[in-house]
Structures are given as structure tokens and as C-alpha cells.
Structure 1
């Protein structure tokens, strides 16, 4: 049985980690410069280091690595392919009209993406590494803390909402209000699916694989916008 102390501790953990993603997005995309980029990187580091430190030092959890089961891999691949198709479909139908390529190219330059090789290196990191870090932070850590605050299925929606918040700032930097609304709803839905995948298997493999495939679709679209 959870007491108010457990809930207060979970709330404190969420308060210390959730805003960091939005701060990082805002400083990188809207402030820029060396100061903005540095703070953004520090926020990204915080999103990984804080959950690990809190889990080990406060929750006294033994972090461990587990090999994926075949069903997890299959589930992740199916959801990933589905999301890939949805992302490409939405962009083909609507996104091309809502995203200003000039603005997108300016933001890419602001982030230091000055050549195709740099872009490919950055996107390889986001597809393979950042997606795993996000799953660890938002599913393994945030979703678990949300379950302490509001046990049951409602925790999935709360964690998906937290996951969506910083994406709103990211989408708004590249798209008009149509794209912000549709994109935010898509991220929220993805957050629900990935949280459910995590809670089903108590493992990140399924959500990580589908997340990486979805990010691959975004990387391909961004390539077409920036370098076409």
C-alpha cells in the first residue's frame, strides 16, 4: 500500500525531471547560440543521469540489462512499421503544407547541421541512442512514478502527457498551428502505446524498437525538407 510519502517522493522526482526536456528544447530552438546549445546539452544529460541517480540512491533499485524476448521484438516491429506508415502518410497528406522549408533549414543551421554528413551522424544518434534514452526516461522512470501518483491505467495518460509537453515546443519551431495540434496528438498517442508496451512486458525493448523506427521516418522526412 502506497502512502502519502511515496506519492510526495514520486511527485518530487517528476518535478525535477519533466521540465528539463522542455527547457532543453526551448533553449536549443528559440534561444540558440553557445549558451542555448550548452544548456540544451546539459538538460539532455540530466534526463539520463537524474533517473539513474534517483533510482540507485533514492529508490535503491538494482539496474539490470535483460535480453529481449521474441514477442517483444515482434510487437515493437509491428508498432514501429505502423507508426512509420502513419508518419509518412500524415506528412504526405498534410505536413508538406504546414512545414515551412525555409524555417526548417534555418533551424537546422542554428542547431549546427551544416552538411549531409553532420545530419546523418546526428540522426543516427537520435534514431539509435536518443530513442533508447527517451524510453528509459519517459517509460521506465516517468511512467513508473506516474503509477505511484495515480495507480492504474490513468498513469499511462499522465506519462504520455508529460512526454508530449516538450514535443509541442519542438513541433512549433517547424510547423504552423495545424501541425502543432496534429503532431502533439500523434506524440501523445505514441506515448500511450509505448507506455502500454513497457507495462505489458516490463521491458523497454518493444517500445524502443518501435520508437526507433518512428524516429527513422521523421529523419527521412527531415532529410527531404532540409536537403531537397
Structure 2
């Protein structure tokens, strides 16, 4: 039980230490993705070797693509429509500079968010933690717990990035997305639909950045 709790809360600790303790996005990425790789490294190798996780079904790809486009449209459309309510652009730009999300390494960080982040997060939550918890509880509770802890560390960044109460309410769609991607893992028995959908959702976030915050 203690081990499972540590595995669930570990990513949140890494984000808290890097973002709010060290105030650096690059260091946060190092700590966060380092944790995901260290803990689920063996599972990553299994995923890459598994025929199941390399299974490209037409239904799975279409489902991942459509939901990803929907998530992208919701993220970009909602923020575009209510940007002045959601955040202060000047204040947020300064915060990102303070967090070292700027300069020559900016493109690298964006590529990490777009490619590395969806892949590692899906392997950690929808494969590694899923496999650990599904042996102890039913599918609904497994999805509920993994989605809760997946959304928990997102709240640490949302609190700083968005105005009140959007910064707390923003955790809800993150949680729901986790439930959807977990369901995809269960239904299709492969991570590919969830990874594809996740990548497109993250693209929506990056488009928001270039539309409103890039200087």
C-alpha cells in the first residue's frame, strides 16, 4: 500500500520540487521525466517490444484522432474566447521567463511537451500504474485513482498560470481526459489511441502559448 501511494504521488512531488521549489521548467522536466523513466523504465521496454502496444487498429487510431482533435479544439477555442478572464498575458509571460521557459532551449521544451510528455505520461499512468492497480481493484476504481493522481500535479502548474477560480476548475477537464485515455487503454488494449489523443491535446496547449504568450 505504501509503495503504491509513493508511485502515485511521486510525479506530483517532482513537479512541486522543480516548479515551486527550484522555479525552473527545465529542472522540472528533468525531475519529472526522470522519475517516470526511472520508475517505469522496464515497462517502457516491454511496451516497445509488445505486439499489443504496437497494434494499429483502424478503430483505435480513428478514436484517438477524433478525440484528440476535439480536445485540441476545446482547449484552443475556450482559452481564445475567454483569455482575458483566464489569465493576465503580461504577468504570465513574466512568470514563464522566471521559470526559464524562454531562450534557445524553448523549442526543445515545446517538442518535449508535444512528443515525450504524452508518451511517457501514458506509459506511466495508463500502462504501469494501470497494470499495478488493476490486479487489486475493478476497472472503474483503477481509472478513477490513476486519473486523480494524474490530474493532481497538473493543478500545481494551473494554480500559477491561471486566474482564480479557473486555476482550480481547470483540473476537472484534465481529470476527465485521464478517464477517457484510461478507458481507451482498457477498451483497445493498447496505448496508441491514448497517446495520439494526448499528443493532439498537448498541441492545443502549445497553440495557446504561441497565440497568446510567445514573445
Per the TM superposition, whether the score is higher than 0.5 is: yes
- Rate the CA distance shift 1:24–1:223 in 2: closer, same or farther, 3 A: farther
- Answer yes or no: is the 8 Å Cα contact 2:8–2:146 preserved in 1: no
Aligned twin of 1:52: 41
Q: Does 1:94 align with 2:59?
A: no
What pairs with 1:76-95 in structure 2 (closer than 5 Å)?
76-95=64-83
The aligned length equals 211
Give, in whole Å, the separation in 2 of the partners of 1:143 and 1:177.
Answer: 32
Q: Does 1:185 align with 2:175?
A: no
- Rate the CA distance shift 1:32–1:107 in 2: closer, same or farther, 3 A: farther
Shift of 1:96: 3.3
- Superposed CA deviations along residues 31-80 of structure 1, whole A, max 9, x for unmatched, are 2257x964752332111221234x59xxxx95424242222211110110
* Structure 2: gaps of 5 or more residues: none
- Superposed CA deviations along residues 107-140 of structure 1, whole A, max 9, x for unmatched, are 321332223x533321112111111000000111
Give, in whole Å, the separation in 2 of the partners of 1:62 and 1:118.
Answer: 31
TM-score, normalised relative to structure 1: 0.82
What pairs with 1:1-228 in structure 2 (closer than 5 Å)?
8=1, 12=3, 14-32=4-22, 38=27, 41-53=30-42, 62-63=46-47, 64-65=49-50, 66-115=54-103, 118-227=105-214
Provide the alpha-carbon RMSD of the alignment. 2.4
Give, in whole Å, the separation in 2 of the partners of 1:174 and 1:92.
Answer: 15
Secondary structure of the residue aligned to 1:149 is coil
Give, in whole Å, the separation in 2 of the partners of 1:151 and 1:74.
Answer: 27
Secondary structure of the residue aligned to 2:162 is coil
- Rate the CA distance shift 1:160–1:52 in 2: closer, same or farther, 3 A: same
Which sits farther off after the overlay, 138-147 or 184-193? Answer: 138-147
Which sits farther off after the overlay, 143-152 or 171-180? Answer: 143-152
Shift of 1:183: 1.1
Shift of 1:151: 1.4
TM-score, normalised relative to structure 2: 0.86
Structure with max Cα Rg: 1
